[in-house]
Amino acid sequence: MSPKNIIILLGSPRKKGNSALLAQEAAKGAQEAGAAVESFYLHGLNIRFCLGCNKCRAKTALNCVQDDDMQSLYPKLRRADAVVFASPVYWAHVTAQMKVFMDRCYALGGPEGHDLEGKRYGVILTYANIDPFKSGAINAVRTFQDSFSTGIVDIICGQAKEAGEIKKNRELMERAYRLGKELCR
């Protein structure tokens, strides 16, 4: 059996922020379970806003007409067995980088189905003040999951105000590690 392919999408502009630290633990768990893991910091990629033109849905194109970094992510997403969304909660929502990425995944669906159907997902959200379960962040990832008929393995939410503070929360770090392992099943 070939190893599982897992994609980790990081929505934070901070490469060593709390959501990134939890995502690293998930990656470690997945790699130790034999998965091939690839991580992408969305902040450093050129991903334009969705134009709402619907050209991606014409004749089951399943691709966006915009020539940006999403073009290299689409085939990786199609090949992935599992995807992890990791984002801090900004203003009661996932970051703008994550939201734009999610919007652009619209191109992966059409009348014939969705290229992300059947994949397993993990969600990692960190916050300072607004609990993600009382904000739009959880609703955004659940709506994304519902749109593609996928399954969320776990939603990990951790409160941390300072960069790196999440490392002190051993329970969350271990849970993120277990998420990585679980995505390989």
Task: Report the distance separating Cα 123 and Cα 155, nearest Å.
Answer: 5
- Asked whether residue 60 carries a pLDDT value surpassing 60, the answer given is no
- Asked whether residue 130 carries a pLDDT value surpassing 80, the answer given is no
The structure's pTM equals 0.93
pLDDT tens digits, one per residue of 154-185: 999 999 989 999 999 999 999 999 999 999 98
Task: Report the distance separating Cα 60 and Cα 45, nearest Å.
Answer: 26
CATH label, 5-182, candidates 3.40.50.360, 3.30.70.20, 2.40.40.20, 3.40.190.10 = 3.40.50.360
Per domain, the residue ranges of the chain are 5-182
The SS3 call for residue 68 is coil
Q: Are 150 and 121 in contact (CB under 8 A)?
A: yes
pLDDT tens digits, one per residue of 94-129: 999 999 999 999 888 766 667 888 889 999 999 988
